[in-house]
Structure 1
Amino acid sequence: GHLIMGLEFALPSMIGFVSLAGVVVNDSILLVEYVKSHVRDGMKLHDAAKQAVFDRFRAIFLTSVTTIAGMTPLLFEGSTQALILVPLVTSIVFGMLTSTVLIMLVLPAMYAIMEDIGFVKLTDAPEKAASFG
């Protein structure tokens, strides 16, 4: 985003990057929890990933669109008062564009790959309670 806008990566850019991380992590957790929920209900992982994306697409997409739409006027602001905000907003807007695509396409695929390899275990057996005596 900074390259497209012709901006240097500065401290406000880093602050925007950190604030973007909160939204991205929240959307990612939401999607993974839906996948786990569908698997617990008996769906296969690949079907559960597709269904989770289908179920949560609107929430994740609208979060991204409203954030981008709200910050776009600041992105193109040319006044001296907004000079410090433009790098911050650039990080958030372009990060939201990229992260939305990655969350909806790459995250479910990576989750399925990690489960196939064995890094993620979805079918947990109930843990035995400790007996005292």
Structure 2
Amino acid sequence: MRKGRSHVVVLSKSSGSLFGYAGALNELGYFSVRLCARIQEVADLLATGACFEYLVYDGFDLGKDADHLQMLVKHNAIVSIIAVADVNSQQRKKMILWAKAHRVPLRGVLQTPLRSSELHELILLNSLNTECSVL
């Protein structure tokens, strides 16, 4: 059973992808899922005091979206970020190192198109790590 915050926000420019993410997250027990098509929508939610266990950022591009992600993290209202991007292993490593250097809580980078099984595995792994670190 999942513990912690129960809210997830998904950021994707593709409305079809948004519904796919909602379905995959519902299967994991996340039923409070906010679907956003623009970064400003997420920023507005955070500005009103919303908190999220996960931000799933679909189509993340480090060169274009790094500043946006840093802006969102400044609210201290997102526990974990999952980036979904079309990257190779070197680019994935660069993203992870960037996130560490900028204190961005990036928990994983999944390949596009998203495979629900990979999302499930990453969230399960993060849940186990969180539970172990609490003990």
Under TM normalisation by the shorter chain, which class is it? under 0.3
Larger RCO (CA under 8 A, 6+ residues apart): 1
Greater helix share, structure number? 1
TM-score, normalising length: structure 2: 0.24
Greater strand share, structure number? 2
Larger Rg: 1
TM-score, normalising length: structure 1: 0.24
